A and B are shown apart, each in its own frame.
Chain A
Amino acid sequence: DADVTQTPRNRITKTGKRIMLECSQTKGHDRMYWYRQDPGLGLRLIYYSFDVKDINKGEISDGYSVSRQAQAKFSLSLESAIPNQTALYFCATSVPGTSGRDNEQFFGPGTRLTVL
Chain B
Amino acid sequence: LAKTTQPISMDSYEGQEVNITCSHNNIATNDYITWYQQFPSQGPRFIIQGYKTKVTNEVASLFIPADRKSSTLSLPRVSLSDTAVYYCLVGSETGANNLFFGTGTRLTVIP
Contacts and interface: CB of A to CB of B under 8 A. Distances in A.
Interface string B14-54: 00000000000000000010101000011111100100000
Contacts, number: 58
A48 B95 CA distance: 11
Nearest to B45: A107
- Which of A41, A43, A101, A104 is packed against the most chain B CB atoms within 10 Å? A43
Interface string A36-49: 00000111110010
Interface size, B (range): 20 to 34
Interface of A: 33, 35, 41-45, 48, 56, 58-59, 88, 90, 92, 96-97, 100-105, 107-110
20 contacts: A35-B101, A41-B103, A42-B104, A44-B101, A45-B96, A45-B101, A48-B99, A90-B43, A96-B94, A100-B55, A101-B49, A102-B32, A103-B34, A104-B34, A105-B36, A105-B99, A107-B43, A107-B45, A110-B41, A110-B42
